[in-house]
């Protein structure tokens, strides 16, 4: 019977030290996966603690996703354990909130190195360890579906969409699936620093009228890594309460009430 269970599968999650990444890692462990959680910290962050009764297992490795040598070392370490990689969640990301006329090339490059190049390096390093039926999930953003104002961050998430589509085409013949989830306003340490005006305006543009939780993103990631999505590749799934679906029409609709 096809299910969400990932018993015996090995999944790498980047940016797993807090927020969405930590929730994804914990949920995957609950589903039975062996999760290799990575982040910048030298030791396992407290937020990654999982119940001893969990179905799977979690190990932690320090990784800077923008460092090609770090990815190579991770791949060699996984191979030395005799593990096949069944899933990769490119969750690591940073933001930069400069507006169009204030942003520098350095701003774009810094965000790009993590949000786009980091995902490319992960795919390049771990795809050789994947067999047929492996799954890669790239974590985009509602910013990658809209003209969101932080130009460096938005440009990086649009670029990640292109990377994901090329990867789905190139790796499809090997049975490797690549899909993208696009979170909206999710309650995380990253969004906690947003101005109150940003929160209020975003909620006004969200048909469900609330922010999302990290578990709501993790649930979609789990689906895309599971056999239940075995014929899904190249898909882009917003997890945004409907924010990206109305093309700005909600503001007009609200004004006419």
Please provide the DSSP assignment of 98-158 as one string. --TTT--HHHHHHHHIIIIIHHHHHHHHHGGGEEEEEEEEEE--GGGGTT-S-HHHHHHHH
**Phi/psi of residue 245, each to 5°?**
-85, -15
Catalytic residue (one of 60, 112, 149, 153): 153
Give burial (CB, 10 Å; 0-12/13-18/19+) of 29: buried
Give strand ranges (E) for the chain.
Answer: 10-13, 34-39, 57-62, 85-90, 130-139, 177-183, 236-239
**Which residues share a beta bridge with 37?**
13, 60
**In the 8-state DSSP scheme, what is residue 84?**
P
H or E element that contains 169: helix 151-171
3-state DSSP assignment of residue 59:
strand
Q: Annotated catalytic, 60?
A: no
**Phi/psi of residue 101, each to 5°?**
-80, -5
Catalytically active residues are 153
């Amino acid at each position: 019977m096809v299910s969400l269970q990932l018993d015996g599968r090995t999944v790498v999650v980047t940016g797993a030290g807090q927020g969405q990444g930590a929730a994804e890692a914990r949920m995957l462990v609950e589903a039975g996966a062996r999760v290799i959680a990575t982040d910048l910290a030298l030791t396992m962050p407290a937020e990654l603690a999982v119940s001893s009764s969990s179905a799977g297992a979690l190990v932690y490795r320090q990784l800077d996703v923008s460092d090609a040598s770090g990815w190579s070392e991770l791949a060699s370490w996984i191979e030395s354990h005799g593990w096949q990689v069944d899933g990769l969640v490119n969750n690591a990301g940073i933001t930069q909130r400069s507006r169009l006329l204030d942003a520098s090339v350095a701003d774009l490059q810094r965000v790009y190195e993590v949000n786009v190049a980091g995902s490319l390096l992960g795919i390049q390093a771990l795809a050789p360890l994947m067999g047929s039926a492996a799954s890669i999930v790239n974590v985009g953003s509602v910013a990658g579906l809209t003209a969101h104002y932080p130009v460096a961050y938005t440009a990086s998430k649009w670029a990640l969409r292109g990377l994901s589509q090329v990867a789905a085409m190139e790796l499809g013949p090997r049975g490797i699936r690549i899909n993208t989830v696009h979170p909206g306003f999710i309650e995380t340490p990253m969004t906690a620093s947003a101005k109150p005006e940003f929160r209020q305006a975003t909620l006004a543009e969200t048909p469900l009228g609330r922010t999302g939780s990290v578990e709501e993103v993790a649930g979609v990631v789990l689906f895309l890594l599971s056999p239940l999505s075995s014929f899904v590749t190249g898909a882009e799934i917003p997890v945004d309460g409907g924010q990206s679906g109305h093309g700005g029409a909600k503001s007009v609709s609200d004004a006419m009430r």
